[in-house]
Amino acid sequence: MPLFVCKECQCIENTALSGYWWRIFNALDKRALCSGCDKTFVNGWHNKFSKEKFNPETWEYESDSREFVKRKYKDNEVKYGLNIRI
Ligand SMILES: [Zn+2]
């Protein structure tokens, strides 16, 4: 599940735990928002992992148009337990 950076609070969020795909295809503003910022149909931060602000020293964006975040350090892989294409 790809990770992205919330356009509102700049935290790292998972597309599967937020309304990311719904927002990209259906919301008028098409802003990628985390579950904490998206009040459309998600009720607050999911608590599946801690909310963490994007830090360019430990994370980086993929260069594709969707701006997914990719892991930079092994610690993040363990912490989030996610498969992310790199
Ligand atoms: Zn947010």
Each residue's pLDDT tens digit, 38-83: 988 777 999 988 999 988 777 766 655 566 776 555 555 545 545 4
Which comes out higher in pLDDT, residue 5 or 56? 5
Q: Would you say the pTM of this structure is higher than 0.85?
A: no
Q: How far is the CA of 36 from the centre of ligand 1 (A)?
A: 5
Q: How far is the CA of 37 from the centre of ligand 1 (A)?
A: 4
Each domain of the chain, given as residue ranges in start order, spans 3-80
Q: What is the model's pLDDT at position 86?
A: 43
3 vs 34: CA distance, rounded Å: 10
Q: How far is the CA of 86 from the centre of ligand 1 (A)?
A: 23
Which comes out higher in pLDDT, residue 36 or 30? 36
Q: How far is the CA of 8 from the centre of ligand 1 (A)?
A: 5
- Give the pair of three-digit tokens for residue 32: 């990628």
